[in-house]
Amino acid sequence: MKQLRQEQNFSLVDLAEKCALSVSYLNEIEKGKKYPKADKIAQLAQALGVSYDELVTLKLTKNLTPIAELIESNILEMLPLDHYGIDLNKFITLMSGASYQLSALVTTVIEMARSTELSQNNFSRTALRIFKEINDNYLADIELSVEKFVDDSHLTIEPPINYEQLSQILIQHYNYKLDESRFNNFEELEQLRGVLKPGKQPILFLNPQLSNAQKLFIIGKELAYNYLNISKRSYIHSSLKLNTFDHLLNNHIAAYFSAALILNKNLFTADINNFFSQEQWNEYSLINLITKYDATPEMFFQRLANLSGKVWGLKKYFFLRFNTITGTDRYELTKEVRLNIKQNPGGYQTNEHYCRRWVSIKVLKKIKEELNGLNSYGRMKPGIIHSKFHETNDEYISFSVAQQNILDPNSFTSVTLGFYLDELLKKKINFWNDPSIPYSIVNDTCEMCNIHDCKERISEPTTLRKIQRSLDIENAIKKL
């Protein structure tokens, strides 16, 4: 209706006069808030100079068809429009009046979403990463909620937090039942950490193969969902099943709550102050701290990242999580947060080969070589590097820890936290210039790197050559 009206250069007032209907009523029809009865449709059809059937047909004109495809696809579900103050109805209304050029752009986005990494949940994950960056990766309201929860529950916060103590709160206050026996009956679920069956008495099925730290983290998340009254959530404790932005965001909030509960802010801050004050780098100090809080390396680094800006003023950093499998030389970036830095370490979920000089990759290689097919029983492989990015010359001090996956001995994960090396960091971390810390020139990916003498390179700089070829052609045209 709106398109037919605009094609004939009718305003809403013009159309209202022609069909004897009110302007407000027509406006609500165009916004999709009201659907007219048959007699009103007949009046509209006559005023617009079309048949009744043409006005109600499901067949859309060329420039409206992409909008219909956009609505029918799952792309709008992946876009967290409401979280950024964008009303979905207004967005649709705006798009319905789009030009052919914008319609072509929408069609292109839909095709990209169907065939590339925008599909599934990567768009939502990118939106979540941006949400973290906007908030400096620090959630003040959740920090306060954790403090209140500790007071309300009369918890002992001295590390490590007692698993039985947290479990009892879940059982007694929220009527949960914990079950660690059923998972072994289902081979298909061996990679999942836990599943919740909601109801009057929720049942939390936990994978018995998990470490105590992993179980503690899940209990903390379940407490967060209940204490914060979060209803939009996934009932499966696995990143594989987080497909919508709401699920991802609420999972992030629950994970933040759990980590803040397990790694108490004041005690953790004091321990990190002692760690940073050391004159020399000591990998055992890092491992001992992680063990002290009965945390996983990822929980530890995430908590350090949450507090680094607020407590120490270190607001420029990146966090990376890599996965790899025994017998392969492929490393997959599965989590990334960048805060106030230029570097995009290879691009999220890229098909290119990440720089093998990164400490993230080095610690993974070392632990795979050391275990050589054996079970590590939770052994951690730490590492540190003073790196300078090729071309930009930006420098970082990066900490990394690799571990074997408890649920899959053939899979390994490393987590890395890299702080931008500036004058502030030199004042905060005493051992930044320890001669024992390896130094290396790094880059994003092999395909985008022009370091000629790189012994670690495993792929030619194909992408960079394509870009250079285009620049050469442009320069030649200018000369011509």
| pLDDT tens, position by position, 133-169 | 888 899 999 999 999 999 999 998 899 998 999 999 9
Say if residue 20's pLDDT is above 50: yes
CA-nearest of 295, 296, 273 to 159 is: 295
Phi-psi region of 77 (alpha: psi -120 to 50; beta: other; left: phi over 0): alpha
pLDDT confidence of residue 146: 97
Q: What is the DSSP string of 423-466?
A: HHHHHH-GGGG-TTS-EEEE-SBGGG---TT-TT--S--HHHHH
Q: What is the pLDDT of residue 340?
A: 83
Q: Decide: residue 150, CB within 10 A, 0-12 exposed, 13-18 middle, 19+ buried.
A: middle
Q: Answer yes or no: same fold for 2-126 and 140-262.
A: no
Q: H helices of 57-121, where?
A: 65-72, 75-78, 88-96, 100-115
**pLDDT 10s digits, 233-269:** 989 998 665 667 788 889 999 999 999 999 999 999 9
Residue 172 has pLDDT above 80, yes or no: yes
| Pairwise CA distance, residues 156 & 153, whole Å | 9
Q: Please tell me the distance from the alpha carbon of residue 372 to that of residue 374, in angstroms, as a whole number.
A: 6
**CATH architecture label of 2-126:** Orthogonal Bundle (1.10)
CB distance 127 to 245 below 8 Å: yes
Structure tokens at 85: 């103050």
Mean pLDDT of 385-391: 91
pTM over 0.85: no
Q: Tell me: the pLDDT tens digits for 339-377?
A: 888 766 545 446 778 889 999 999 999 999 888 878 877
Tell me which residue of 48, 59, 55 sits closest to 5, measured CA to CA.
48
Identify which of 164, 220, 158, 224 has the alpha carbon closest to the alpha carbon of residue 193: 220
Query: Which residue in 54, 90, 64 sits closest to 3, CA to CA?
Result: 64
- Omega prior to 160 cis, within 30 of 0: yes
Is 325 buried (19+), middle (13-18) or exposed (0-12) by CB count in 10 A?
A: middle
Domain borders along the chain are 2-126, 140-262, 266-469
Angle between helices 100-115 and 65-72 (to 10 degrees): 30
At 175-199, the pLDDT tens digits run: 999 999 998 899 888 889 999 999 9
Express each pLDDT in 199-239 by its tens digit.
999 999 999 999 999 999 999 999 999 999 999 898 999 86
What is the C-alpha to C-alpha distance for residues 61 and 97, in angstroms, rounded to an integer? 12
- Are 43 and 78 contacting, i.e. CB atoms less than 8 angstroms apart? no
Confidence class for position 459, pLDDT limits 50, 70, 90: confident
The DSSP bridge partners found for residue 381 are 402
pLDDT at 415: 96
Alpha helix (H) residue ranges in 175-263: 212-227, 245-262
pLDDT above 90: percentage of residues in the chain: 55
Amino acid at 359: V
CB within 8 Å of 346: residues ≥ 6 apart: 333, 352, 354, 355, 444, 445
Question: What is 140-262's CATH number, 1.10.150, 3.40.50, 1.10.3470, 1.10.10?
Answer: 1.10.10
Specify the range with the lowest mean pLDDT, choosing from 242-246, 304-308, 336-340.
242-246
